Amino acid sequence: MSLIERMENKIVKLEKNIEEEKSHIENLKEKYRNNTITKTDFLSIKKRIEGMIKTMDLRIRVLKGEVVKKRKKKNEKVRIRENRKMGEKSYFEWSKT
Q: How far apart, in whole angstroms, are the C-alpha atoms of residue 11 and residue 15? A: 6
Neighbours of 6 (CB within 10 A): 12
On whether residue 72 sits in a domain, the answer given is yes
Domains of the chain: total: 1
**Other beta carbons less than 10 A from residue 44's beta carbon:** 11
Does the pTM surpass 0.85? The reply is no
Radius of gyration of the chain, Cα coordinates, nearest whole angstrom: 24
How do residues 37-88 score in pLDDT, each as one tens digit?
A: 999 999 999 999 999 999 999 999 999 999 999 999 888 888 888 877 776 6
Report if residue 95 sits inside a domain: no
Assigned domain for 96 exists: no
- Choose the weakest-confidence range: 13-17, 21-25, 78-82: 78-82
Smallest CA-to-CA distance from 26 within 53, 40, 46 is with: 46
Assess if residue 97 is contained within a domain.
no
Show the DSSP H helices in the chain as ranges.
3-33, 39-85, 91-96
Domain membership of residue 46 as a residue range = 3-90
